[in-house]
Amino acid sequence: MSTSRDDMQNPKLTFRKFRNGDHDWHSWQEKIFEADHSHKCPTYVLRTPPCQGGCPAGEEIRGYLQIVRGIEKPPADMSPQEYAFRRLTDANPFPSVMGRVCPAPCQDACNRNDVDDFVGINAVEQYIGDTAIRENFAYPAAPALSGKKVAVIGGGPAGLSAAYHLRRRGHASTIFDDHEELGGMMRYGIPRYRTPREALDREIQRILDLGDIEVRTGTRVGRDVSIAELEKEFDAIVWALGCQTGRALPVPGADAPNCVTGVKFLEAFNTDRMKVVPPKVVCVGGGDTSIDVVSVARRLGCLKDGSSPELPERVVAGLAEHAPVADDARAPVDVTLTSLFPKSQMTAAEHEVHDAEREGVKILDGVMPLEVLLDANGRARALKMAQCEMVDNRPVPKEGTEFELECDLIVSAIGQGGDLSGLDDLNNGRGLIDADKFYQVPDRPRHFVAGDIIRPHLLTTAIGQASIAAETIDQFLRNLEMEKRPKVDKHRFNLLSKLHEAGLDPEEYDHEQKWGTSSSNFAVHNFEDRSAHEIIKSSKLFLGHFPYEARLKREEIGPGADEVIGHFMERMVGLDDERAKKEAGRCMSCGLCFECDNCVIYCPQDAVFRVKKNQSTTGRYVDTDYTRCIGCHICADVCPTGYIDMALGE
């Protein structure tokens, strides 16, 4: 298939089959006539796609995209939407929330980036999660109880994920959390216009509906309950405390009362204590938390009449709260975000940075704070800054570039740490808890750990760690030896499970030595599963199969600088059924057949054939007649997904 003139003029068409300077036509004729010397024939090799390899929660992304697009069929008694929900939530019980807020490392890893643009995985994930809420999908009934009970310390993404995965393995749990409601950073650290509370509440309740998950809110372990009491009551303990304390600026004057942390600032907003901010706000950061801080500040505004409400630090500390304020009583706030790195290197999601600028936030990049300048009352009046450069991964100020930023409130969003007061025995000296490769706490039998308290990272990382920790706890409670974790530690497609689901289980093997398994039904013929060891690269794919197709982006209702005050509506508009199916259809199904028929069409010997419909399922759509195959490997060359290897024979 040749590329059209219009496509060649498309600046977004990034894939070319031939490199510059490669003008020679390589005929397949020689390969066809010489290939019979190789004795190699096709085998079907399952590998893990890079989107899934890049997902910290280990979601089977390729699987649920194939279901949404209609390639992989659900069981007869289930809709495609519910089937996609079941497959996604096998790893992550928060698709609606994470589809909105996850920075999507899966999309950065997507092989489609080498063709045109990544698949909108987050958008499809949100679609699946929102559909599940709208259709009231529930989890399958949990198995019978094992008689064991686990204490889960922390009701955030890691703790809730741990309780979910433990219950699915038959273990009851009790969640301890020092807040009034569950949700952790999903509730108290992210603004409600990014994580609608209805979606969060529904996804939490769906976990609790599994049963035998007790909740004790308003309870702090180390103060209200001791470790010794937990060890006496429970068979295992998983520490999923999160990191609820922010780092102060490492400069003189940073202990001024109106210097607060981003974590506490956002908690004050999310608990409705903070309803306005002072006229001039400076936030130091560059990550997602700092973007949330400045976006919230712009939305809250200050009092139009110039009056002074409760001091912001008292509200942040929980010592006071603001009275309700009407939108027409608010005035715009001067908000500045500073970052050590250029905008292109800020860790915040690129579209979030653009949204903040559109909302009227001023961003100063490539600068560092030097000192908090105080007024006569000891309060911060300005932040002394300078341009900087990175030397040995440390910021160094450029001489002669100093300047001052006037401010009424300084918010530090430069990192987070754990609060282990009352739990000193667990502290590794850095305010965190150590973990081994199985997420056990070293030298503390029955103690396990997951989430930010190991090392602050993404919400989806906490969810994934808790899944592995739950599996480890299950092995511990059943007195099983800890199994070695696979190299690609993800929730992967399982052909035997799929065959079972389709009623195509292999026959029982009689353990007699036999030749010619291709004609036997006790073995899965010419198939190899390397998904636990290999992530498939785009170089293994036939990218020429995929034409340019623009990504279907979610619509955003983003306010401009003049409309931002009081704008707390959700910004993301989810995909509908048709658009979700179309976007999922851009998935290249890396490492697994997606039934394109290329191998059948191009085989010169008619050796590759479709499996009979009553024996076909995902991963077993085609087969090979080895009495006809001459080893020309055209089928492998034209396989778009890299599912075919010339691997049988010498």
CA within 13 Å, CB half, 32:
11
Distance between CA atoms of residues 448 and 195, nearest Å: 29
Helices 262-270 and 288-300, axial angle in degrees (round to 10): 50
Residue carrying structure tokens 């433990």: 166
pLDDT bracket for residue 6 (50, 70, 90): low
Question: Alpha-carbon torsion 92, 97, 100, 103, what sign?
Answer: negative
pLDDT at position 1: 42
User: What is the separation of C-alpha 213 from the centre of its chain, rounded to a whole number of angstroms?
Assistant: 25
**pLDDT of 374-401, one tens digit each?**
999 999 999 999 999 999 889 999 999 9
* Average pLDDT along the chain: 91
pLDDT at position 630: 85
Residue carrying structure tokens 């790893």: 91
Higher pLDDT, 131 or 524: 131
- Decide: helix, strand or coil at residue 152: strand
pLDDT at position 23: 62
pLDDT at position 427: 94
DSSP letter at 193? T
**pLDDT of 58-93, one tens digit each?**
999 999 999 999 999 999 899 999 999 999 999 999
Q: Could you tell me whether strands 409-412 and 280-285 are parallel, antiparallel, or unpaired per DSSP bridges? A: parallel
pLDDT at position 58: 94
List the domains of the chain with CATH numbers: 5-17+26-135+492-648 (no CATH), 149-244+418-477 (3.50.50.60), 246-415 (3.50.50.60)
- Percentage of the chain beyond pLDDT 70 is 93
Counted residue by residue, the chain has a size of: 650
- What is the DSSP track for 474-526? HHHHTTPPPPPPPSS-S----HHHHHHHTT-PPPPP-----S-GGG-SSS-TT
**pLDDT of 188-230, one tens digit each?**
999 999 999 999 999 999 999 999 999 999 999 999 999 999 9
pLDDT at position 521: 79
CA within 13 Å, CB half, 450:
34
**pLDDT of 12-46, one tens digit each?**
555 555 555 666 666 655 555 554 556 788 999 99
pLDDT at position 507: 85
Q: Closest Cα partner for 196 from 177, 212, 183?
A: 183
Distance between CA atoms of residues 392 and 408, nearest Å: 34
Distance between CA atoms of residues 22 and 562, nearest Å: 54
pLDDT at position 571: 85
- In this prediction, residues 311-336 reach a mean pLDDT of 93
**pLDDT of 439-483, one tens digit each?**
999 999 999 999 999 999 999 999 999 999 999 999 999 999 988
pTM, full prediction: 0.92
- Decide: helix, strand or coil at residue 265: helix
pLDDT at position 2: 47
pLDDT at position 636: 92
- In this prediction, residues 575-580 reach a mean pLDDT of 96
